[in-house]
């Protein structure tokens, strides 16, 4: 084959397969060295801007009183790390109680929300359900319109939920967005499974709990993470409905100590020692409030992406 014929052949192949030509522009292409250096510098600056505050918070919680006083209340790296601040806040008092309350609201609320949302989403995914489209339209409307803060407060008060931990769970136990995503996931499951179970005499509840839920671990993990983060970070609802400080979740305690600058009180026998400085106690509370959700996410990460993509894209 001559040189001209070879060039013509390559041009014909590029015209027949433009995708391959487009990929060839990126594969093996390397930017100039100074461009790569600028990208690295920008990436490092962005990472430091994100990670820097976390390092400062953790370092301050571990620093000793002398270094905190010398640094003006914030420390970038502890010279003599100590866990006295964490020992103090876990020894009892309002912080420990608030952590238990937030844990209860998060665990119970996530379970209730997953149960109610999955049952509603499964019902809406069944085309033979009566008033299917009407109920679906009602769910969608809640994404666009809400009653407002005052009607919601009056509703909670009317049901006798004021100053109760259930006021942090029941009014927000179903999210329309999560319901729609989960409904889409259920619609992507093969109809043959439910039809075969129906022929064998299984009821809808039996089909849901024995067949649908075991196949829905990815979407349940993804939606469960959404609910867990929302319940753990509950702040405004607690501010509206909870009046007793004995029932404050950790986010309200954070507001007291970090925003309102109240002194952190801890139940600890110091045996003649000075208590940890207030900045260390405040940063320790902040770290403790961040750790639970940060520890849960890695265990759900493998299900998270699969659940969201499968529930959001109809295949």
Domains and CATH numbers, the chain: 88-312 (1.10.3720.10)
Name the residue among 212, 172, 171 with its Cα closest to residue 191.
212
Angle, CA of 266, 236 and 283, to the nearest 5°: 35
- Is the per-residue pLDDT at 308 higher than 70? no
d(CA 74, CA 221) in angstroms, rounded, equals 37
pLDDT, residue 303, reads: 63
Neighbours of 265 (CB within 10 A): 15
Residue appearing with tokens 């008092």: 93
d(CA 315, CA 303) in angstroms, rounded, equals 18
pLDDT of 235-257, one tens digit each?
A: 888 999 998 888 899 888 888 87
Model confidence at 32, pLDDT cuts 50, 70, 90, reads confident
Dig out the tokens for 304 from the structure. 């998270």
- Whole-model pTM: value is 0.77
- Is the per-residue pLDDT at 115 higher than 90? yes
* Mean of all residue pLDDT scores within the chain: 80
pLDDT of 178-191, one tens digit each?
A: 999 899 888 888 88
Whether 300 contacts 228, CB under 8 Å: no
d(CA 192, CA 175) in angstroms, rounded, equals 29
pLDDT, residue 18, reads: 53
pLDDT of 269-286, one tens digit each?
A: 544 566 777 888 888 888
- Is the per-residue pLDDT at 8 higher than 50? no
pLDDT, residue 9, reads: 55
Cα–Cα distances (Å) from 223 to 176, 179, 306, in that order, read 12, 9, 12
């Amino acid at each position: 084959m001559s040189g001209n014929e070879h060039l013509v052949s390559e041009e014909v192949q590029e015209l027949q397969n433009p995708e391959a030509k487009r990929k060839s522009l990126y594969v093996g292409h390397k930017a100039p060295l100074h461009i790569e250096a600028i990208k690295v510098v920008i990436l490092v600056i962005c990472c430091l801007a994100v990670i820097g505050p976390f390092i400062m918070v953790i370092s301050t919680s571990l620093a000793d009183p002398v270094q905190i006083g010398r640094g003006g209340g914030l420390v970038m790296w502890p010279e003599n790390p100590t866990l006295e601040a964490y020992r103090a806040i876990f020894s009892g008092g309002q912080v420990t109680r608030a952590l238990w309350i937030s844990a209860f609201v998060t665990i119970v609320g996530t379970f209730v929300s997953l149960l109610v949302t999955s049952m509603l989403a499964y019902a809406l995914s069944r085309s033979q359900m009566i008033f299917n489209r009407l109920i679906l339209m009602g769910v969608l409307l809640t994404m666009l319109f809400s009653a407002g803060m005052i009607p919601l407060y009056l509703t909670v008060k009317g049901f006798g939920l004021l100053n109760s931990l259930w006021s942090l769970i029941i009014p927000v136990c179903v999210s329309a967005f999560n319901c729609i995503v989960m409904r889409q996931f259920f619609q992507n499951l093969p109809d043959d499974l439910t039809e075969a179970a129906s022929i064998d005499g299984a009821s809808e509840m039996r089909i849901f709990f024995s067949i649908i839920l075991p196949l829905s671990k990815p979407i349940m993990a993804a939606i469960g993470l959404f609910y867990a983060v929302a319940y753990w970070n509950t702040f405004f609802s607690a501010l509206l409905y909870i009046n007793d400080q004995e029932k404050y979740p950790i986010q309200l305690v954070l507001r007291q100590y970090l925003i309102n600058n109240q002194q952190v009180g801890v139940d600890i026998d110091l045996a003649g020692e000075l208590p940890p400085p207030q900045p260390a106690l405040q940063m320790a509370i902040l770290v403790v409030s961040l750790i639970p959700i940060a520890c849960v996410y890695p265990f759900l990460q493998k299900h998270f992406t699969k659940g969201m993509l499968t529930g959001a894209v109809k295949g």
